[in-house]
Each structure stands twice: as C-alpha cells, then as structure tokens.
Amino acid sequence: MAAAARAAECGVKVGIVDDNARLGGQIWRSESEGAQTVEAAEWTQRLVAARAAILCGTTVFYQPCPGFLLAESYDGVHELQYAKLVLATGARERFLPFPGWTLPNVMGAGGLQAMVKSGLPVRGKRVVIAGTGPLLLAVAAYLRKRGAEIPIICEQTSWSRLARFSLALLGHPGKISQGFRLKGELSGVPFVANSWPVAAHGGDALESVTISRGGKIKTIPCDFLSCGFHLVPNLELPLLLGCRTENGYVSVDDFQTTSVPSVFCAGEPTGIGGVELALVEGQIAGLAAAGHATEARELFGERGKLRRFARSLDRAFQLRSELKSLPSPSTMVCRCEDVPYSRLRPHASWRAAKLHTRCGMGPCQGRVCGPATEFLFNWNPGSVRPPIFPARVESLAALDGQAKPEMNEVSGGR
C-alpha cells in the first residue's frame, strides 16, 4: 500500500494487486470496514486520492514472459502488463512439529488472531500462547480483549537475551510505550521465559498442553494452543521472476531494486522487520520505481535505524537448538502427505526427502513443512515451479495467451 500510494502520487499509472478480499494484509486486517486503524485508514485514503487502480481477491500465479503476469480472481483470469513491479509478498508463520501439533485448535499465533478477527468466538476459552517474539504479546492482548483467558505465555528465549534486547529498546521510545501498553493489557497473565510446548493432548480436539518451563514439565488444560515460532518470507513470486536471494531473503540495493532491474521488493521478503520497516521500504520502492530517487533517498536514514532494530530483535529471539528435538519418530512433519519425522531423518536434503517420501508435494506445496525441515535438518527448500499457488484449470488454459490485458503498470502485493 505504501509503495503504490507513493508511486501514484508521483503521477505514474499504478495498480495494486492484493490476494486478500480487502487491502491491509494480516497486520491491518479488520473485523469491519469501519474498524481500520488510523494508520491503515490514512494509507487507504492516499491510495484512493491518488487514483491507484485496486484489484483485491486476485492472486498472481505465473509469469508468461518478462513484463507480464497471470493472476486469478473470483471472476476470471487477468493478464497484468507492467513496466515496473514492486513485490510486497509478506510472510507466513513457521510451524514447528511436536507430538499433538496437528490436533484441532492447535494453531499459529497469527492464524488464531486472523480467525478471531473473522468471527471465531474465544470468549471464556483458555488459550495458551507459546513460541517466541513480541507477536506473542500482541496476540495475547488481542485475544484477552475478546474475552479469552490466557493462563500463560511461554517464551522460548532466555531471560538474559530478553534483558539484552531491552537495551536495544532505549533508542526506540515508541517501542517502549508499546511494551508498557501491552504489559498493562496483560496484567496478571504469567509470562515465562525458557519455556516451550513439548506435546499437545486431546481426542477430537485439543484438551491440554504439556510445556517445558525452565527444565520442568507441566501440563495445562486449555481450549486453544496458539504457537508462533517466527515468520518465513513468501519468496515464491520473487523466485519465479528470477530475483536473487541471499540467506533466505530477496537481495535488494539501496532503492529496494532486486537483481531483476524492473522489479523492486519491500517488506518481509527482504528481511523480517515488522510493519514500520515495511512501510518505509515500500515508500522507497514506490518512489524509486516512479523515478523519484531523491525523495526515496531521504528515507534511507529511517530505514537504517529500523533495520538495526530488526537485527537486534532477530538475535534476541533466535530459535534455540532444543526445539529441534521436539518431534518424536511418529510426529507428522508433512501434514499433507502424512510423512512422519522418522521417514525424513535418513535423508540428506529436501529434494531427496521429496523423491522418497513425497514430503512437500501436497496441497500446501511445502509452505508448512518446508520451513519446519529447514530448521530441523538445515535443508534448503530449493526452487519453485509454476503455478506457484493452486489455480483453476481454466486459469491454466490462459497460458495459451487467451487472457485480456488489464493494466500497464502494476505494484504487486500479496
């Protein structure tokens, strides 16, 4: 949204493509049209005022040739023609397998929050929050406001790392105020470091979770287990377009330009950094794509400060090695193809595991088990092949060039 708004304000023709039903992604997902945050409403108004074309509920799944993308929506297939493209594909949650993690009501932290925003009732429900990072606190506060009971928040990192991270907050007064606000909203909720789930229990649905708390085992009755073990960048579209990646992220220069000169990238695909950094990177990308490099350069200082904070965040909440021993031999790692941990251990690579077990070849195409095996076995998930997302047969027929051009210049988002 930031990239499209800034580019459109420069006078170029801009379109924004979002696969959600409404703009805003996970961060600004709202229960109703009138429930937007002030910041979200501001960027929405800027987009509309700048007359950017908006296509929601539209997912890019293929690139027939440079400068063209095929996208699928509820009402058909669109061929998008562009001169410059800004990718803002966001990130998804990393799931770590442990016994019982496939039980109903064991969910990702962001996933449960999204379902509650969409109408899932949690009033009176006991929700254990576990994983790592500030997202746990934000989700816990949100769920508590909706009437959920939070018996405990389990943070896997150590108290010593949390203490060092607190020093990094001194240069970010806004983060400190956010922390105090969350602390107030979660008053009375136990927050425990050096703690993580080791097993979930239940019949048809979750009934309790066993946690490791400072080396001691404790079982807690609950209705939901909300887990958040970092975010994983969505790289399918950048990889399809030939963008170079490094250390798991899209490589960009100072103006957010990728290795493909006409393609820019901003937000989590270039490094997990949160909404503030994403907004700054998006503005730089949009301005640079529109040819306003001088204005883009004015934002470099703010971006650098936010990137330094993101690096300190990453160091503080790095996943500990003990989490690699959570799966038992029978724990399912690939849920789509029912592949347990014991069948994956003998293999040396992601490709070998796919060939021998079909791990990663189900409906999610490795979007869940890929990041899990990357952490468990240090495997590299490898390349992508089109269509990068599930598509209708009629959409695939458009590969013969039957689609109708819709735009001349597109700022793409997911």
Domain co-membership, 18 together with 64? yes
The answer to whether residue 399 scores a pLDDT higher than 80 is no
Domain co-membership, 355 together with 336? yes
Please indicate, yes or no, if residue 317 is contained in any of the structural domains: no
CATH of the domain at 273: 3.50.50.60
- The answer to pTM > 0.85 is yes
Phi, psi for residue 368 in degrees, rounded to 5: -100, -55
Strands (E), 313-403: 332-334, 339-340
Please indicate, yes or no, if residue 306 is contained in any of the structural domains: no
Residue with tokens 């066993």: 210
pLDDT, averaged across the chain: 91
Q: How many percent of the chain have pLDDT more than 90?
A: 74
pLDDT, tens digit (0-9, with 9 covering 90-100), for 328-366 = 999 999 999 999 999 999 999 999 999 999 999 988 889
Domain co-membership, 44 together with 103? no
Q: Which domain holds residue 115?
A: 95-229
Please indicate, yes or no, if residue 308 is contained in any of the structural domains: no
> Band of the pLDDT at 400, cuts 50, 70, 90?
low
Please compute the mean of the pLDDT values over residues 293-321 and round it to a whole number. Answer: 95
Domain co-membership, 252 together with 213? no
Domain co-membership, 189 together with 284? no
> Band of the pLDDT at 405, cuts 50, 70, 90?
very low
Domain co-membership, 221 together with 258? no
CA nearest to 70, candidates 316, 405, 296, 326: 405
pLDDT at 31: 53
Phi, psi for residue 61 in degrees, rounded to 5: -130, -5
Please compute the mean of the pLDDT values over residues 178-189 and round it to a whole number. Answer: 89
Least confident residue range of 83-92, 166-175, 393-402: 393-402
What are the tokens at 267? 């937000």
Domain co-membership, 334 together with 346? yes
Count of domains observed in the chain: 3
Please indicate, yes or no, if residue 303 is contained in any of the structural domains: no
Higher pLDDT, 195 or 215: 195
Please indicate, yes or no, if residue 359 is contained in any of the structural domains: yes
Domain co-membership, 101 together with 113? yes
Domain co-membership, 222 together with 141? yes
* Angle of the 275-289 helix axis to the 2-9 helix axis, nearest 10: 30
> Band of the pLDDT at 372, cuts 50, 70, 90?
very high
pLDDT, tens digit (0-9, with 9 covering 90-100), for 69-82 = 999 998 889 999 99
Domain co-membership, 139 together with 223? yes
Please compute the mean of the pLDDT values over residues 95-102 and round it to a whole number. Answer: 96
